[in-house]
């Protein structure tokens, strides 16, 4: 099974100039804790509710702070034609619960999450594999 068979296609994004308040408001509307960040139709980062809490709120930054100041710039992604099992193993290794999905031109076409994998009976084992890796203590956190 391929990622494009289970991914979420309707993806909302923010730009580098959006404020943290804009991003938080959008997260609330779509009931998500993760947004891809784009610049001129290119994926340049991601921002999570955790990024906002630890990199902004904990540091005393206000709601008007641009997303660009706290987003994760090292973009982890997968391709839409990749095998679900392969992506699940990768998610476990890099300890993430969701990934932007791009086409071979590296244009954002969706997002895949553990939830997407768990919903599909054929990829539930893949979700379990990923979760097992994600749940391992992170050596970098110590």
Which CATH number characterizes residue 43's domain? 3.10.580.10
Is residue 125 a part of any domain in this protein?
yes
φ and ψ at residue 10, rounded to 5 degrees: -85, 95
Q: Give the whole-angstrom CA distance, residue 25 versus residue 103.
A: 28
Judge whether 24 lies within some domain. yes
Q: How many domains does the chain have?
A: 1
101 pLDDT tier (thresholds 50, 70, 90): very high
Dihedral sign computed on CA atoms, order 41, 120, 131, 129: negative
User: What distance, in Å, lies between the first and last C-alpha atoms of the chain?
Assistant: 36
pLDDT category, 128, cuts 50, 70, 90?
low
In a domain, 122, yes or no: yes
In a domain, 14, yes or no: yes
d(CA 66, CA 7): 28
Phi, psi for residue 61 in degrees, rounded to 5: -80, 145
Average pLDDT over residues 61-82: 96
Quick one: pLDDT at residue 117?
84
Do the domain assignments include residue 141?
Answer: no
Task: Give the mean pLDDT of the chain.
Answer: 87
Q: What is the pLDDT of residues 34-70, one digit of tens each?
A: 999 999 889 999 999 999 999 999 999 999 999 999 9
142 in a structural domain? no
Residue 79 lies in a domain: yes
Range of the domain at 77: 3-136
Has residue 70 been placed in a domain? yes
Report H helices in 7-96: 20-30, 49-51, 84-94
pTM: 0.80
């Amino acid at each position: 099974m391929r990622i494009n068979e289970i991914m979420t296609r309707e993806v909302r994004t923010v730009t580098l100039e959006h404020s943290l308040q804009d991003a938080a408001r959008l997260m609330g509307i779509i009931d998500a804790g993760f947004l891809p960040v784009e610049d001129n139709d290119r994926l340049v980062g991601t921002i999570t509710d955790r990024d906002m809490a630890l990199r902004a709120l904990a540091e005393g930054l206000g709601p008007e702070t641009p997303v660009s100041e706290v987003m994760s710039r090292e973009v982890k992604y997968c391709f839409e034609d990749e095998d679900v099992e392969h992506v699940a193993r990768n998610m476990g290794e890099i300890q993430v619960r969701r990934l932007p999905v791009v086409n071979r031109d590296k244009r954002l076409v969706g997002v895949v999450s553990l939830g997407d994998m768990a919903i599909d009976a054929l990829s539930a084992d893949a979700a379990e594999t990923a979760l097992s890796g994600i749940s391992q203590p992170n050596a970098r956190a110590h």
